[in-house]
Protein backbone atom coordinates (compact mmCIF):
# COMPACT_ATOMS: atom_id res chain seq x y z
CA UNK A 1 0.00 0.00 0.00
CA UNK A 2 1.12 3.49 -0.70
CA UNK A 3 0.26 4.74 2.73
CA UNK A 4 -1.23 7.81 1.15
CA UNK A 5 -4.79 8.79 1.78
CA UNK A 6 -7.43 7.40 4.06
CA UNK A 7 -7.60 3.63 4.18
CA UNK A 8 -10.42 2.44 2.04
CA UNK A 9 -11.71 5.94 1.72
CA UNK A 10 -12.69 6.67 5.28
CA UNK A 11 -14.20 10.05 5.80
CA UNK A 12 -11.78 12.52 7.26
CA UNK A 13 -12.82 13.74 10.65
CA UNK A 14 -11.23 16.30 12.87
CA UNK A 15 -10.70 15.08 16.42
CA UNK A 16 -13.71 17.13 17.45
CA UNK A 17 -15.90 15.62 14.76
CA UNK A 18 -14.61 12.15 15.50
CA UNK A 19 -15.23 12.53 19.20
CA UNK A 20 -18.75 13.78 18.54
CA UNK A 21 -19.46 10.79 16.36
CA UNK A 22 -17.57 7.86 17.70
CA UNK A 23 -15.98 8.69 21.00
CA UNK A 24 -17.84 8.60 24.25
CA UNK A 25 -17.18 12.09 25.49
CA UNK A 26 -18.47 13.57 28.70
CA UNK A 27 -22.14 14.32 28.19
CA UNK A 28 -22.87 18.01 28.03
CA UNK A 29 -26.59 17.54 28.60
CA UNK A 30 -29.00 14.69 29.27
CA UNK A 31 -29.15 12.24 26.41
CA UNK A 32 -32.60 13.28 25.28
CA UNK A 33 -31.50 16.83 24.74
CA UNK A 34 -28.38 15.84 22.87
CA UNK A 35 -30.05 13.66 20.29
CA UNK A 36 -31.11 16.35 17.86
CA UNK A 37 -27.83 18.28 17.84
CA UNK A 38 -25.93 15.03 17.34
CA UNK A 39 -28.12 14.13 14.37
CA UNK A 40 -27.70 17.58 12.91
CA UNK A 41 -23.95 17.46 13.35
CA UNK A 42 -23.87 14.00 11.79
CA UNK A 43 -25.65 15.27 8.69
CA UNK A 44 -23.41 18.31 8.57
CA UNK A 45 -20.37 16.11 8.89
CA UNK A 46 -21.38 13.95 5.95
CA UNK A 47 -21.88 17.07 3.84
CA UNK A 48 -18.51 18.42 4.93
CA UNK A 49 -16.81 15.07 4.33
CA UNK A 50 -18.22 14.97 0.82
CA UNK A 51 -17.00 18.47 0.11
CA UNK A 52 -13.49 17.73 1.30
CA UNK A 53 -12.98 15.22 -1.50
CA UNK A 54 -9.57 14.16 -0.29
CA UNK A 55 -9.71 10.49 -1.13
CA UNK A 56 -6.76 9.55 -3.28
CA UNK A 57 -7.33 5.84 -3.11
CA UNK A 58 -5.26 2.94 -4.28
CA UNK A 59 -4.11 4.58 -7.51
CA UNK A 60 -1.39 6.49 -5.68
CA UNK A 61 1.07 3.71 -5.03
CA UNK A 62 2.14 3.03 -8.52
CA UNK A 63 0.68 -0.35 -9.20
CA UNK A 64 -3.05 -0.13 -8.78
CA UNK A 65 -4.37 -3.56 -8.01
CA UNK A 66 -7.91 -4.23 -9.09
CA UNK A 67 -10.39 -4.58 -6.27
CA UNK A 68 -11.72 -8.07 -6.75
CA UNK A 69 -13.15 -8.85 -3.33
CA UNK A 70 -16.78 -8.02 -3.83
CA UNK A 71 -19.06 -10.50 -2.10
CA UNK A 72 -20.00 -9.78 1.53
CA UNK A 73 -18.92 -13.26 2.64
CA UNK A 74 -15.57 -12.86 0.91
CA UNK A 75 -14.97 -9.39 2.37
CA UNK A 76 -15.78 -10.73 5.81
CA UNK A 77 -13.52 -13.76 5.37
CA UNK A 78 -10.52 -11.62 4.40
CA UNK A 79 -11.24 -9.27 7.30
CA UNK A 80 -11.46 -12.15 9.76
CA UNK A 81 -8.15 -13.51 8.45
CA UNK A 82 -6.40 -10.22 9.19
CA UNK A 83 -8.10 -10.03 12.60
CA UNK A 84 -6.82 -13.52 13.38
CA UNK A 85 -3.26 -12.44 12.54
CA UNK A 86 -3.30 -9.28 14.63
CA UNK A 87 -2.21 -9.17 18.28
CA UNK A 88 -5.21 -6.86 18.80
CA UNK A 89 -7.67 -8.98 16.83
CA UNK A 90 -9.28 -10.25 20.02
CA UNK A 91 -10.57 -6.73 20.64
CA UNK A 92 -12.98 -7.14 17.72
CA UNK A 93 -16.24 -8.87 18.53
CA UNK A 94 -17.83 -8.93 15.11
CA UNK A 95 -17.38 -7.93 11.49
CA UNK A 96 -20.40 -6.66 9.65
CA UNK A 97 -20.64 -5.83 5.97
CA UNK A 98 -23.13 -3.12 5.12
CA UNK A 99 -23.68 -0.55 2.43
CA UNK A 100 -22.60 2.60 4.23
CA UNK A 101 -24.43 5.70 3.03
CA UNK A 102 -21.39 7.99 2.93
CA UNK A 103 -19.16 7.06 -0.03
CA UNK A 104 -16.05 8.24 1.74
CA UNK A 105 -16.55 5.99 4.77
CA UNK A 106 -14.98 2.59 4.16
CA UNK A 107 -15.49 1.28 7.67
CA UNK A 108 -16.12 2.40 11.20
CA UNK A 109 -16.07 1.38 14.82
CA UNK A 110 -17.92 3.11 17.62
CA UNK A 111 -16.85 4.28 21.05
CA UNK A 112 -20.28 5.47 22.08
CA UNK A 113 -20.33 2.96 23.72
CA UNK A 114 -17.54 0.71 22.40
CA UNK A 115 -18.81 -2.67 21.22
CA UNK A 116 -15.90 -4.06 19.23
CA UNK A 117 -17.96 -4.30 16.05
CA UNK A 118 -16.12 -3.42 12.83
CA UNK A 119 -18.56 -2.42 10.12
CA UNK A 120 -17.13 -2.49 6.59
CA UNK A 121 -18.70 -0.92 3.55
CA UNK A 122 -19.97 -3.29 0.89
CA UNK A 123 -17.76 -2.26 -2.03
CA UNK A 124 -15.02 -3.91 -4.07
CA UNK A 125 -11.83 -4.18 -2.03
CA UNK A 126 -8.28 -5.30 -2.61
CA UNK A 127 -6.88 -7.75 -0.08
CA UNK A 128 -4.16 -5.23 0.83
CA UNK A 129 -6.72 -2.47 1.23
CA UNK A 130 -8.84 -4.62 3.53
CA UNK A 131 -5.84 -5.67 5.61
CA UNK A 132 -4.79 -2.06 6.14
CA UNK A 133 -8.37 -1.09 6.92
CA UNK A 134 -8.70 -3.81 9.56
CA UNK A 135 -5.40 -2.89 11.22
CA UNK A 136 -6.52 0.74 11.26
CA UNK A 137 -9.85 -0.12 12.92
CA UNK A 138 -8.12 -2.43 15.41
CA UNK A 139 -5.92 0.56 16.26
CA UNK A 140 -9.08 2.46 17.20
CA UNK A 141 -10.27 -0.47 19.32
CA UNK A 142 -6.91 -0.55 21.11
CA UNK A 143 -7.29 3.17 21.82
CA UNK A 144 -10.81 2.58 23.20
CA UNK A 145 -9.64 -0.38 25.30
CA UNK A 146 -6.65 1.40 26.83
CA UNK A 147 -8.06 4.88 27.35
CA UNK A 148 -11.83 4.49 27.18
CA UNK A 149 -13.15 7.99 27.69
CA UNK A 150 -10.02 9.38 29.32
CA UNK A 151 -8.88 12.56 27.63
CA UNK A 152 -5.58 13.27 29.36
CA UNK A 153 -2.57 11.59 27.87
CA UNK A 154 -4.69 9.70 25.41
CA UNK A 155 -2.73 7.99 22.59
CA UNK A 156 0.45 9.69 23.74
CA UNK A 157 -1.00 12.92 22.41
CA UNK A 158 -1.27 12.03 18.73
CA UNK A 159 -4.52 12.34 16.82
CA UNK A 160 -7.08 9.55 16.66
CA UNK A 161 -6.56 8.86 12.95
CA UNK A 162 -2.78 9.16 13.22
CA UNK A 163 -2.91 6.58 16.02
CA UNK A 164 -4.96 4.22 13.87
CA UNK A 165 -2.73 4.75 10.84
CA UNK A 166 0.35 4.06 12.95
CA UNK A 167 -1.33 0.86 14.17
CA UNK A 168 -1.48 -0.20 10.52
CA UNK A 169 2.19 0.75 10.10
CA UNK A 170 3.04 -1.38 13.13
CA UNK A 171 1.10 -4.25 11.59
CA UNK A 172 3.08 -3.92 8.38
CA UNK A 173 0.12 -3.14 6.15
CA UNK A 174 0.90 0.53 5.72
CA UNK A 175 3.98 2.63 5.00
CA UNK A 176 5.20 5.62 6.98
CA UNK A 177 4.42 9.01 5.51
CA UNK A 178 7.37 11.10 4.43
CA UNK A 179 5.25 13.88 3.00
CA UNK A 180 2.04 15.46 4.23
CA UNK A 181 -0.77 13.44 2.62
CA UNK A 182 -3.07 16.41 3.06
CA UNK A 183 -5.39 14.63 5.44
CA UNK A 184 -5.29 13.60 9.07
CA UNK A 185 -4.78 10.01 7.87
CA UNK A 186 -1.04 10.06 8.28
CA UNK A 187 1.64 8.33 10.28
CA UNK A 188 4.91 10.22 10.32
CA UNK A 189 8.04 8.78 11.86
CA UNK A 190 7.67 10.88 15.01
CA UNK A 191 4.05 9.79 15.40
CA UNK A 192 5.05 6.19 14.93
CA UNK A 193 7.66 6.61 17.66
CA UNK A 194 4.92 7.91 19.96
CA UNK A 195 2.71 4.97 19.05
CA UNK A 196 5.44 2.43 19.69
CA UNK A 197 6.42 4.01 22.99
CA UNK A 198 2.80 4.02 24.17
CA UNK A 199 2.29 0.38 23.20
CA UNK A 200 5.60 -0.59 24.82
CA UNK A 201 4.30 0.74 28.13
CA UNK A 202 1.23 -1.49 28.05
CA UNK A 203 1.40 -4.53 30.29
CA UNK A 204 -2.23 -5.54 30.02
CA UNK A 205 -5.12 -4.58 27.77
CA UNK A 206 -8.74 -5.07 28.80
CA UNK A 207 -11.67 -5.42 26.48
CA UNK A 208 -14.51 -3.65 28.23
CA UNK A 209 -17.18 -4.83 25.81
CA UNK A 210 -18.64 -8.11 24.65
CA UNK A 211 -17.27 -10.90 26.80
CA UNK A 212 -15.00 -8.78 28.97
CA UNK A 213 -11.48 -9.98 29.35
CA UNK A 214 -7.95 -8.77 29.95
CA UNK A 215 -4.86 -10.07 28.24
CA UNK A 216 -1.21 -9.44 29.01
CA UNK A 217 0.75 -7.57 26.38
CA UNK A 218 3.79 -9.51 25.32
CA UNK A 219 6.73 -7.51 23.99
CA UNK A 220 7.39 -7.65 20.27
ZN1 LIG B 1 -10.18 5.78 11.56
Predicted confidence at residue 104, as pLDDT, reads 87
A 10 A CB-CB count for 132 gives 27
Ligand 1 centre distance from Cα of residue 53 (Å): 16
Ligand 1 centre distance from Cα of residue 34 (Å): 24
Predicted confidence at residue 98, as pLDDT, reads 97
Ligand 1 centre distance from Cα of residue 201 (Å): 23
Predicted confidence at residue 150, as pLDDT, reads 83
Across the 220 residues of the chain, what is the mean pLDDT of every consecutive 10-residue run? 45 51 36 44 47 37 76 98 97 97 93 95 96 97 93 92 98 96 96 97 96 89
Exposed / middle / buried, residue 125 (Cβ in 10 Å: 0-12, 13-18, 19+): buried
Provide the whole-model pTM: 0.73
Ligand 1 centre distance from Cα of residue 32 (Å): 27
Predicted confidence at residue 83, as pLDDT, reads 98
Amino acid sequence: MSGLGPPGGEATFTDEEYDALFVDVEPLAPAGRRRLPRLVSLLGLFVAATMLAVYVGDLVGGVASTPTIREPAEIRAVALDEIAESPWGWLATEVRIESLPEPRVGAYVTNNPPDGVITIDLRPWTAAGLDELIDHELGHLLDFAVWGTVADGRRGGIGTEAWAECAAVAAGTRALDRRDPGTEYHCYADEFAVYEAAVAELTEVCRNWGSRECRPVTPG
